[in-house]
Amino acid sequence: SQKIEQNSEALNIQEGKTATLTCNYTNYSPAYLQWYRQDPGRGPVFLLLIRENEKEKRKERLKVTFDTTLKQSLFHITASQPADSATYLCALDSLYGGSQGNLIFGKGTKLSVKP
Amino acid sequence: GAGVSQSPSNKVTEKGKDVELRCDPISGHTALYWYRQSLGQGLEFLIYFQGNSAPDKSGLPSDRFSAERTGGSVSTLTIQRTQQEDSAVYLCASSLAGGEANERFFGPGTRLTVL
Say whether pLDDT at A26 is over 50. Answer: yes
Residue A58's alpha-carbon distances to A26, A38, A50, A76, B15, in angstroms, are 25, 19, 9, 9, 48
* Chain A residues touching B107 at Cβ < 8 A: 43
Contacts of A87 in chain B (CB under 8 A): none
**How close does chain A come to B106, measured CA to CA in Å?**
5
Which of A23, A28, A96, A102 has the most B C-beta neighbours within 10 Å, making it the best mutation to test the interface with B? Answer: A102
Q: How many CB pairs under 8 A join A and B?
A: 73
The two beta strands, A86-93 and A103-105, are antiparallel
The shortest C-alpha distance from B43 to chain A (Å) reads: 6
What's the total number of domains in chain A?
1
Q: Render pLDDT for A85-113 as a digit per residue (tens, 0 to 9).
A: 999 999 987 555 444 557 888 999 999 99
A101, B50: Cβ pair inside 8 Å? yes
**Residue B100 is nearest to which of A44, A93, A105, comparing CB atoms?**
A93
> Which domain range does residue A82 map to?
4-114
Average pLDDT over residues A27-40: 87
Centre a 10 Å sphere on the Cβ of residue B47 and count the other Cβ atoms it contains.
23
Point out the least confidently predicted range of B17-31, B49-63, B75-89. B49-63
- In CATH, what number is assigned to the domain containing residue A64? 2.60.40.10
Q: How far is A36 from chain B (nearest CA, A)?
A: 9
Q: Report the percentage of chain A scoring pLDDT > 90.
A: 63
Cβ B102 vs Cβ A31: under 8 Å: no
Say whether pLDDT at B54 is over 70: yes
